[in-house]
Amino acid sequence: AQKVTQAQTEISVVEKEDVTLDCVYETRDTTYYLFWYKQPPSGELVFLIRRNSFDEQNEISGRYSWNFQKSTSSFNFTITASQVVDSAVYFCALSTDRGSTLGRLYFGRGTQLTVWP
Amino acid sequence: DSGVTQTPKHLITATGQRVTLRCSPRSGDLSVYWYQQSLDQGLQFLIHYYNGEERAKGNILERFSAQQFPDLHSELNLSSLELGDSALYFCASSRGPGANVLTFGAGSRLTVL
């Protein structure tokens, strides 16, 4: 079975602080994909990143960076120098190539990030 | 604008009623997914259609049904509504049936009174 755990329900930081959102996943499949989505107060789900299970290279995009470690089944997300506009719920998700669930995203419960000015 | 269009944005109805939520996928996308987001269940996968055919079912109640039409738009029908059906219903689309990036619509917020 596929499972995603985001242990941090809520995180509050002050602007310009760095913050890391944790994500731990479970799957028996060797080919899988990991995602992060952002849900701002307006409610839509915005795609941030996708990584496949064969690419453990960390990625940086502006103030965002992602650390993928297969050894610990983790795919953590760090925001550097946080801003008020980063306040949102962040979801980690998992997808596999298993036939019956092809393309389906398994979401974690999300982490509510609040950045105070 | 994600390119995935969902209507209506908000819907208020009474218990026992039936509603239909509509989704138009991004141009060129053949896959449509429906998700339900509620406070107690989080984001739950309901059903996946690819090019008009049902591909997978998740935690979808028997009172709920969906279909994807030849023009690729999809409808989610919710019947015999209960208070617990109040939730945000998302539609998402992707190019193919595989693990592509899902692009989500803005959601339809259903309130059952």
pLDDT tens for A54-84 read 888 888 889 999 999 999 999 999 999 999 9
B69 by Cβ neighbours in 10 Å (0-12 / 13-18 / 19+) ranks as exposed
Query: What DSSP element (H or E) covers B60?
Result: none
Q: Which runs of E-coded beta strand occur in chain B? A: 5-7, 10-13, 19-24, 31-38, 42-50, 53-57, 64-68, 74-78, 87-94, 103-104, 108-112
pLDDT at B99 over 70: no
Direct distance between the N- and C-terminal alpha carbons of chain A, in angstroms, rounded to an integer? 41
- Which of the residue ranges A49-53, A73-77, A95-99 would you say has the lowest mean pLDDT? A95-99
The Cα B20–Cα B40 span in angstroms is 23
pLDDT at A99 over 70: no
Cβ atoms of B6 and B21 closer than 8 Å: yes
Strands A32-39 and A59-61: unpaired
Residue in A with minimal Cα distance to B2 = A46
Chain A touched by B2 (CB under 8 Å): yes
**Confidence category of residue A103, pLDDT binned at 50, 70, 90:** confident
Chain B touched by A47 (CB under 8 Å): yes
A84 φ, ψ (degrees, to nearest 5): -55, -35
**Cα-based angle A115, A43, B30 (whole degrees, multiple of 5):** 130
Counted residue by residue, chain B has a size of: 113
The Cα A97–Cα B55 span in angstroms is 13
Residues in A closer than 8 angstroms to B42, CB to CB, are: 107-110
Residue in B with minimal Cα distance to A35 = B101
Question: In what side-by-side order are the strands of the sheet with B19-24?
Answer: B5-7, B19-24, B74-78, B64-68
Q: Tens of pLDDT along A7-24? A: 999 999 999 999 999 999
